[in-house]
Amino acid sequence: MIKNKVISEAVIKRLPRYYRFLKQLEKEGVTRISSSSLAEMLNVTASQVRQDFSNYGEFGQQGYGYSVAKLRGEIASILGLDARHDIIIIGCGNIGKALARYTNFTDDGFYVKAMFDLDPSVIQKVPEGIEILEMDKLATYINTHNVDIAAICVQSNAAIDVAKLLCKLGINRLWNFAPVDLSQVDSNIIVENINMSDSLFVLSYKIKQ
Amino acid sequence: MIKNKVISEAVIKRLPRYYRFLKQLEKEGVTRISSSSLAEMLNVTASQVRQDFSNYGEFGQQGYGYSVAKLRGEIASILGLDARHDIIIIGCGNIGKALARYTNFTDDGFYVKAMFDLDPSVIQKVPEGIEILEMDKLATYINTHNVDIAAICVQSNAAIDVAKLLCKLGINRLWNFAPVDLSQVDSNIIVENINMSDSLFVLSYKIKQ
DNA sequence: ATGAAATTGTTTATTTTTTATCAATATTAA
DNA sequence: TTAATATTGATAAAAAATAAACAATTTCAT
């Protein structure tokens, strides 16, 4: 049953990995899997796998295990992958451009619909169907289009202002690529960070040990 | 004193954030800071700040706090940022190109020196000083140049093979941008992942709640 | 020079997370 | 059909992480 309790960040961050492996299993034609097999694949304990799933419901069957397709579907639903998501990108620099051309998550219903920059002439060769607009068109765009997620791909020094503006315009779901903390910009902001510097520094740390 | 104990992943992942804030403070001309002020800025507890630092040494002074410059230096050293790091990029797609042009970590001594692709003609306009080579030149390059880190920017289906090849050639420090698990490729591999899909899915999850 | 205030690093307590255990139940082979 | 085997979900135990408390020491204002 679905518990009325707070689920830890650690559990949440493991869900995409489960999803990824289940997708792969399904692709390979595997129809059933036990918590212990899955655990072995992921290099975690079977207990953790069962605990994680049990936060969200009862997806398995005693003596049998889990149906791969059903479990994948359940996790997709938990992750919100059963809905379509429209993304806009703020900043047409290297990262913004790469993101616009990166089509890996189209399969799961995430679509880049528009990109904004102070100087939109900097960018060419973007996939069909993505509008490129000047920053001062942002408010109008948001008022006339569905926007689920805004990806912040501007320079560090502009990121906080952009985040504030977006929150003011009602877009508080931010995918932040700038190496800056946005969590305190707004009281009900939702941010996920891709911090390449932080990641590189952690790698550097591990190399040094 | 430096304890002879395993330091948890959670602590390690907080270090770059401390570093980032300290760098900013130093830039602003702040010369001293207490664990409680730092904690307030970072929205964590002062106790955690002191505990984290105490894993690595005694950097503060009772009644005074921490010297910003000294603390920043200590953390830089812990993170290995006192050494120069040469990076090669495998894969000249969108991500590889963006990474090559992303200069944010040059300040901290990370330099992209070369890029490899099966078809290197796909790429133009890369910063000066970065060589672009065919994949079959990889072994020769590694034998004749210093390579500290390899960034894997190839498609998912090629990532494991690339990682295996790199490990075979003696490069086991991998910065992995493919949404694939490489930890089991080699017994003494060191991997840090940038998994954009996983991050996006976590954002989607949080939106749904 | 002196005492109040500030602040560290460490120890102890609390909370959270992870792992192990086990009863309940389904599957499967004979 | 039946008994052995497999496996879940829940509960209990263990381990790890976080937060609080505090003695030791320094700073700083008077």
Residues A55-114: tens digit of each pLDDT: 999 999 999 999 999 999 999 999 999 999 999 999 999 999 999 999 899 999 999 999
pLDDT surpasses 80 at A124? no
Instruction: Copy the structure tokens of residue B135.
Output: 């994949």
Q: How many helices (H) and strands (E) does chain A have?
A: 8, 9
Residue in A closest to B9 by C-alpha: A202
A80 neighbors B205 (Cβ within 8 angstroms):
yes
**Cα gap A154→A159, rounded to integer Å:** 6
Q: How confident is the model at residue B4 (pLDDT cuts 50, 70, 90)?
A: low
Report the residue from A108, A192, A202 with minimal CB separation from B203: A192
pLDDT, residue B182, reads 97
H or E element at residue A130? none
Closest approach of B161 to chain A, Cα-based (Å): 17
Q: Which of B98, B173, B202 sits opposite A94 (nearest CB)?
A: B98
Written as six digits, the tokens of B83 are 């050494």
Tokens of A158: 């502009």
**Closest nt to residue A65, judged CA to C1':** D7
* Measured distance CA(B153)–CA(A94) in Å, rounded: 15
Q: Rounded distance, CA A150 to CA A173, Å?
A: 6
Side-chain-side CA neighbours of A30 within 13 Å: the count stands at 17
Question: Computed over its alpha carbons, how large is the radius of gyration of chain B?
Answer: 20
pLDDT band at A129; cut points 50, 70, 90: confident
- Write the burial class of residue A61 (CB in 10 Å: 0-12 exposed, 13-18 middle, 19+ buried): exposed
pLDDT bin (cut points 50, 70, 90) of residue B50 is: very high
Contacts of B16 in chain A (CB under 8 A): 195, 197-198, 201-202
Nearest of B165, B172, B176, B171 to residue B189 by alpha carbon: B172
Query: In the structure, what pLDDT confidence band is assigned to residue A2 with cuts at 50, 70 and 90?
Result: very low
Strand D contacted by A47 CB (< 7 A)? yes
What's the number of CA atoms in the CB half-sphere (13 Å) around residue A16? 20
Class of residue A109 by CB neighbours under 10 A (exposed 0-12, middle 13-18, buried 19+): middle
Question: Residue A58 and residue B48: Cα distance in Å, rounded?
Answer: 36
Residues A159 and B197: their CA atoms lie apart, in Å, by 21
Query: Kind and range of the H or E element at A6?
Result: none
Residue numbers 64-93 of B with CB closer than 7 A to any atom of strand D? 64
* pTM of model > 0.85: yes
| Whole-angstrom distance, CA of residue A79 vs CA of residue A22 | 14
Closest CA to B171 of B208, B200, B195, B138: B138
Separation in Å, CA of B78 to nearest CA in chain A:
7
Residue A123: pLDDT band (50, 70, 90) is confident
Q: Do B193 and A199 touch (CB under 8 A)?
A: yes
The distance (Å) linking the CA of B32 with the C1' of D30 is 24
Give the residue from A23, A78, A183, A204 with the most B CB atoms within 10 Å of its CB, the best one to mutate: A204
| pLDDT score at B26 | 97
Q: Does A184 contact B43 at a Cβ distance shorter than 8 Å? A: yes
Q: Which residue of A has its CA nearest to B92?
A: A98
Name the nt closest to B62 by C-alpha to C1'.
C8
Give the closest residue to B88 by CA, choosing from B162, B16, B195: B162
Tell if the CB–CB gap between A102 and B79 is shorter than 8 Å.
Answer: no
